Structure formats: structure tokens, C-alpha cells
Amino acid sequence: MTHRVLLTILLSVTACKQSQTAPPPAPAQPVVKPAPATPLSEKKDELGTENAWTPAWDAFIEKNLPPEMLSTKAAKAVASYCPAFSAASEADKRAFWAYTIQAMAAAEAGLKPEATARHTQPAVAKTDKVTHRPMRQEGLLQLSYQDGQTYGCDFDWQADSRLGLKDPARTILQPERNLACGIRILKTQIIDQDKPLLSRSSYWSTLQPGTQSYRIFAKQMANVPPSCGKQIPKSAGRSKATRPAQR
């Protein structure tokens, strides 16, 4: 066997090994753009309030949306607030969802990550199947540990049970974990259950037309991105009714 043949074989083997060990290319990151601020977020910024909504949370939402939330089915679900959703760019669709979830957090929790509430009325008081305690709604989107179990969210009750009620280290109060769980719930309702964004059977009373919570949410939707093709008068979002919704 000639040296030339041996060299060719050696180079082929080396190339084969390199192709087998080369790491896969990193997935492309979605293009994101700043979402508008809700009226309550604007107010907090003006007052210099701590724990106001941050652009990092918008970016987190935009980057973690499942593809289905950009689909034709999603467009149908959000037509009341974003009639031009289908024609919008992917970045604009992501910005719409970031804005909508920000508006939900404004109505649900006053944009406060540490917000927590427990309802004592017999009609709504329940026992959390994870904590085995009276259920609390917690964090930006007012979720429970039972939701974590139902929707596969990254909440750790065993660790959190050793921390104070409003300790920001609690997993359910960490903004990104709370928002990620909310995205899962929205995806379940809109895509898997084929419901519109606004529904009498929505998980959140904030998205149930006719409730006080919904009226607060509607006022926070005053700055819907222009790409949606529908501008709600800003006066609709300047109401004093910006306190957290009560379920």
C-alpha cells in the first residue's frame, strides 16, 4: 500500500471522527423587540417604584413562547385585541404576547412579584393538593403549587416551605418561573382547548369578561402594539382602578 493511499485513509478516518464529535449547532434565538409599557408600568416608572415590571421579563416571555402561540389558531384567539395578528411579523407577535401577559400581571398582582393572596370565601376556598394547605394565589400571575403539578411548572414546594411567605427566593415568586407557568396555562387554554383569550371559563378571572378583574385588565390593554391594527384610546387605561384583581 502506497504512502498516498495510507494518507488518504488517515484523513478520511480523522474527518469521520471529527464529524461524529462536533457539537450540534446552537438553535437560532428568536428575534425580540421591546413591548410597550402598560399604564400601571408607566406609573410605577414615573414614581420610581421598586419591583416595577422590567424589560427583561418581556424578553423572557418573547423568547419562551411555544411556536403554537404564533399560529393561526392563536390569531383567532386574540382577534379582539390584535385583529392584525396573522399579518404581523414574528417579532411583533411575540411583543403582543409580552404586552398581554404584562397587562395580566398588572391586573392580577399590581406587577409585584411577591404578591400573594388567599381567599377565605367558601365558594372559592380550596385545599392545594401539593401543599395540603388552603390554596394561595402567588406571584406575578397569581398561581398555585397545584398549578405547578397540573401544568408541569418548575415550582418546588419542599424548598419553598422552609422560606418566608414573601421571600423572593421562593420558586413560585421568581418572576421567570411564574411567567413560564403562565405561558403554559395560556397555551393549554388557547391551543389545546381551543378557547379564545377571553373566556368565561378561563383560569384567570382577569380574562373572564364581565368580572371586575377583567375590567382592570381591559384598562391595562390601552397600549396594545400598533402592529395589532387596533389602537385603544389611552384614556381607557388611565383609570384609578389599577389595584390587583380580587378573585
pLDDT digit string, tens, across residues 119-164: 776 656 789 999 999 999 999 999 999 999 999 999 999 999 999 9
Domain assignment of residue 17, yes or no? no
How many structural domains is the chain composed of? Answer: 1
Domain assignment of residue 25, yes or no? no
Please determine, for residue 242, whether its predicted confidence score (pLDDT) is greater than 50: no
Domain assignment of residue 139, yes or no? no
Please determine, for residue 65, whether its predicted confidence score (pLDDT) is greater than 60: yes
Q: List the domain range (segments joined by +) for residue 98.
A: 39-113+177-237
- Residue 205 in contact with residue 214, Cβ under 8 Å? yes
Domain assignment of residue 3, yes or no? no
**pLDDT band of 28, cuts 50, 70, 90:** confident
In terms of C-beta distances under 8 Å and separation of at least 24 residues, what long-range contacts does 23-30 make, across chains too?
A: 29/63, 30/62, 30/63, 30/65, 30/90, 30/91, 30/94
Nearest C-alpha neighbor of 234 from the set 105, 106, 83, 42: 42
Q: What is the mean pLDDT of residues 164-190?
A: 97
Domain assignment of residue 227, yes or no? yes
**pLDDT band of 237, cuts 50, 70, 90:** very low
Domain assignment of residue 223, yes or no? yes
Instruction: Round to whole Å and give the CA distance between 244 and 106.
Output: 7
Domain assignment of residue 141, yes or no? no
**pLDDT band of 10, cuts 50, 70, 90:** low
Residue 247: per-residue pLDDT: 44
Domain assignment of residue 118, yes or no? no
Q: Of 56-60, 172-176, 239-243, where does mean pLDDT reach its minimum?
A: 239-243
Q: Is the dihedral of CA 184, 189, 194, 199 positive or negative?
A: negative
